[in-house]
Structure 1
Amino acid sequence: MRLNPVLEALGTYPFVRLDEAKAAAVARGIELIDFGIGEPREETPAFIRTALREALPEVSTYPKADGLPVLREAIARWVARRFGASLDPATQVVPTLGSKEAVFHMAELVGGEAVAVTTPGYPVGARGALFSGREVVELPLDAAGGWLPGLGAIPASTLSRLGLLWLNFPNNPTGAVAPLELLEQAAALAREHDFVLACDEAYSEIWLAGDAPVSGLQLSDITNVVVLNTLSKRSSMPGYRSGFIAGDPRLIAALKKYRPNVGVAPQEFVQLASVAAWDDEAHVDEVRARYREKRDLLWPALQDAGFANAGGDGTFFLWCQTPDGEDEEACAVRLLEHGIVCSPGSFFGPGGAGHVRFALVPTPEACAAAARRLKP
């Protein structure tokens, strides 16, 4: 059987490899506390679950690719409250099946020969680019400069070949937060060289300290700019797969033309539950407080075990330098033998060497137990 050579060349998805390692550890009798995959395990608020049940129809129909107007309007209301930005729900918003599918498919929508992604970074943007036949250009994040990309160092010859530039802030895996000035610089380059700036803001609501992160929707000019966000983290709804893309009306119109071909619209009962989620902020404050509690339980023990804080406060991730320059994969294997699962930084590209990521998704009780296991 002949398979797509891109699929064969990619090898196993990093977090599938992590699942395999966890299964082997469990088979050896090790009880795991899993900080590996950043999947929220908080209880979905009761009012959202109630909204879902009440929205279940007696007769099921296919959802429309452009989403329910009531959801687009709720998203626009949230953007106005949170970022002070005005969106036309009819022309500037499309609901998505979470954000991962939208990240993967974006390269199929735009022109250009290449897609730029940051390293370390979320791997799906690069994989979507490869499947769409594009070259992947890796932009290193500068650890000394707060894990931000040096946009001014990108050659004009590279910029002219781009169809898409991905920026993910607050950043996975580093937790870095970008200033609005960096997004303005990126948007200006996008307009000058006619590529799309796509801002993946999935973690915008889970900052652990400091001011609330900014959004690409706050830019003075959103021509050639789209922003992606999701309820998975904000509202503890990963299994609902509900997010959105918003921005330049030309890109939104193209998405409405493209998306009926791939069938990835969220179910309408999920969309209606999502309206309730976007319209409420009290539960988000509570979620954020729980992640801060878990950080405070785990972080002192990591420091005592020799890990150094290498990241920012923008997400529920702790991005750490390994003790004494230990190889990141060897470090992850060593911790796994003590029942603590983390993600090697190399999972996020070459820029992640020498680092590991802890996702603060276990319960506070589990975080406290992990802190005890880390003691010498």
Structure 2
Amino acid sequence: MRAEIGYVPPPYPYDRLDELKPLADRHPGGLVDLSIGTPTDPPTAAVLAALGGSDSERGYPPSIGTPDLREAAANWCETRFGVQVDADAEVAATIGSKEFVAGLPHWLRLRSPERDTVLYPAVSYPSYTMGAELAGCRAVPVPADEHWSIRLDAISDADAERALVLWVNTPGNPAGGLDDLAAAARWGRERDVPVFSDECYAEFTWDGPPRTILTPADADTAAGARAEADGVVAVHSLSKRSNLAGVRVGFYAGDPELVHFLREVRKHAGFMVPGPAQAAAVAALSDQSHVAAQRDRYRSRLERLARIVGRFGPEPALPRGGFYLWAAAPDGDAWGFTRTLLSEAGILVSPGEFYGPSAASHVRVAAVLTNDVLDMVESRLA
């Protein structure tokens, strides 16, 4: 007799769009998929050379990251944010960022078994919720304000007492909000709740400079300040910054006790970034010019897409950060708007409910495809 299955995972959100895709078939060139933030621009030649010429294929790579990778990450934090982190004690590698986000509650539950709650932005990427669910934890969404920034004052004392972690995401996916990271760090320290800051879109911050939760309060980061890492961890990925989503490499940096704990459990679990990927990451983190070029591409595409989407509903405002448009659906019908954009323009977007019940009246539009593709979409509408 077959055993009864105790847990059935929900449908993967983006798989739910498959049945709608034929609506775009009537358009020349077919479907234009803007539903997922998959980079389409090429990595640099130096990164590809490092990926193919590292001579690191035969041996097991260090789970925590090679010394070169950790040093490159630390140098990048100082160059980009003006904060100094210890590459030996406060930095470690991840296989991209999604596995780290989804797996973190499981590891933290081992560290603090008396706690069972994951706090996360109510409008956010679904991995925060699923990480809690897969670890058998409570997933408690924290509301956003009118600017799509997290409202720390909305967290109850009861939930704070049970919290394993508070997630913040700046710039936010999907809505592009910017959180007060200093306030989030202070909130966590006052309540002894670790705060993890998902900063994988930091390079595409449009409203002011990029920011990190590691920045000390009132520090002169222009001169290079020692990171204020107590109780906080920043999470970064090269998927968006350097068009390396297929290589799967990122890093986390912050509180040395938390970093050490996570390093050790992840060693035992076998989490290792492949050696060639680590070499490619060193090359990518050592160059900022390709990121500046990518920023220009995304900014231009956001502006073009805002005009395209605005032909079918309210023209969306440009985000404060990230490369997604967060567009209000006419009459609040996100699925209806998704069908309209598919049938009338051949573009596929993501209904907001993928990112939480309170997001159900919007759609997310990823500015990832090239200008040639956007030219084709505009020609359909001419």
Q: Scaled by the length of structure 2, what TM-score is found?
A: 0.90
**Residue by residue, what CA displacement relative to the aligned partner does 1:43-94 show, whole Å, maximum 9, x if unpaired?**
111111011111144x612222111011000000000000111110011000
- What RMSD over aligned residues (CA atoms) do the two structures have, in Å? 1.9
**What is the rounded CA distance, in whole Å, between the counterparts of 2:275 and 2:51 in structure 1?**
10
**Residue by residue, what CA displacement relative to the aligned partner does 1:303-351 show, whole Å, maximum 9, x if unpaired?**
233234256230110111112x141012112222231100001110112
From the superposition, tell whether residues 37 and 19 of structure 1 become closer, same or farther in structure 2 (CA, over 3 Å).
farther
**What is the rounded CA distance, in whole Å, between the counterparts of 1:156 and 1:206 in structure 2?**
34
User: Which residue in the other structure is 1:125 paired with?
Assistant: 128
User: Which residue in the other structure is 1:62 paired with?
Assistant: 60
**Residue by residue, what CA displacement relative to the aligned partner does 1:86-129 show, whole Å, maximum 9, x if unpaired?**
11001100011000001011111222210011121011011011
**What is the rounded CA distance, in whole Å, between the counterparts of 1:283 and 1:186 in structure 2?**
31
Give the letter aligned to residue 157 of structure 1. Answer: A
Give the letter aligned to residue 150 of structure 2. Answer: P
User: Which residue in the other structure is 2:148 paired with?
Assistant: 147
**What is the rounded CA distance, in whole Å, between the counterparts of 2:183 and 2:141 in structure 1?**
18
Shift of 1:16: 2.1
Give the conservation status (yes or no) of the 8 Å contact 1:305–1:374: no
**What is the rounded CA distance, in whole Å, between the counterparts of 1:213 and 1:203 in structure 2?**
9
Give the conservation status (yes or no) of the 8 Å contact 1:332–1:343: yes
Shift of 1:19: 4.0
User: Which residue in the other structure is 1:213 paired with?
Assistant: 210
Is 1:334 the counterpart of 2:340? The answer is yes
**What is the rounded CA distance, in whole Å, between the counterparts of 1:14 and 1:76 in structure 2?**
35
- Give the total of aligned pairs: 364
**What is the rounded CA distance, in whole Å, between the counterparts of 1:148 and 1:264 in structure 2?**
32
Give the letter aligned to residue 338 of structure 2. Answer: A
Shift of 1:369: 2.4
User: Which residue in the other structure is 1:167 paired with?
Assistant: 168
User: Which residue in the other structure is 1:138 paired with?
Assistant: 141
User: Which residue in the other structure is 2:254 paired with?
Assistant: 247
Give the letter aligned to residue 186 of structure 2. Answer: A
**What is the rounded CA distance, in whole Å, between the counterparts of 2:258 and 2:4 in structure 1?**
32
Shift of 1:228: 0.4
**What is the rounded CA distance, in whole Å, between the counterparts of 2:27 and 2:304 in structure 1?**
26
User: Which residue in the other structure is 2:69 paired with?
Assistant: 71
Shift of 1:155: 1.6
Give the conservation status (yes or no) of the 8 Å contact 2:35–2:364: yes
Shift of 1:367: 1.7
Give the conservation status (yes or no) of the 8 Å contact 2:303–2:318: no
Task: For residue 79 of structure 2, give the secondary structure of its aligned residue in structure 1.
Answer: helix
From the superposition, tell whether residues 192 and 3 of structure 1 become closer, same or farther in structure 2 (CA, over 3 Å).
farther
Shift of 1:371: 3.3
Q: Bigger CA drift: 24-33 or 151-160?
A: 24-33
Q: Which runs of 4+ in 1 moved over 4 A?
A: 1-4, 24-30
Q: Bigger CA drift: 314-323 or 326-335?
A: 326-335
**Residue by residue, what CA displacement relative to the aligned partner does 1:225-245 show, whole Å, maximum 9, x if unpaired?**
011011111011110101001
Show structure 1 runs of 5+ residues with no match. Answer: none
From the superposition, tell whether residues 29 and 299 of structure 1 become closer, same or farther in structure 2 (CA, over 3 Å).
closer
Task: For residue 63 of structure 2, give the secondary structure of its aligned residue in structure 1.
Answer: coil
From the superposition, tell whether residues 270 and 159 of structure 1 become closer, same or farther in structure 2 (CA, over 3 Å).
same
Equivalent residues in 2 for 1:262-341 (5 A)? 262-309=269-316, 312-323=319-330, 325-338=331-344, 339-341=346-348
From the superposition, tell whether residues 353 and 310 of structure 1 become closer, same or farther in structure 2 (CA, over 3 Å).
farther
User: Which residue in the other structure is 2:222 paired with?
Assistant: none
Task: For residue 166 of structure 2, give the secondary structure of its aligned residue in structure 1.
Answer: strand
**What is the rounded CA distance, in whole Å, between the counterparts of 2:4 and 2:237 in structure 1?**
32
Is 1:203 the counterpart of 2:201? The answer is yes
User: Which residue in the other structure is 2:220 paired with?
Assistant: none
Give the conservation status (yes or no) of the 8 Å contact 2:324–2:366: yes
Give the conservation status (yes or no) of the 8 Å contact 2:196–2:232: yes
**What is the rounded CA distance, in whole Å, between the counterparts of 1:333 and 1:223 in structure 2?**
47
Show structure 2 runs of 5+ residues with no match. Answer: 218-227
Shift of 1:38: 0.7
Is 1:33 the counterpart of 2:32? The answer is yes
Give the conservation status (yes or no) of the 8 Å contact 1:147–1:311: no
User: Which residue in the other structure is 1:156 paired with?
Assistant: 157
**What is the rounded CA distance, in whole Å, between the counterparts of 1:4 and 1:109 in structure 2?**
24
Give the conservation status (yes or no) of the 8 Å contact 2:302–2:318: no
Give the conservation status (yes or no) of the 8 Å contact 1:297–1:371: no
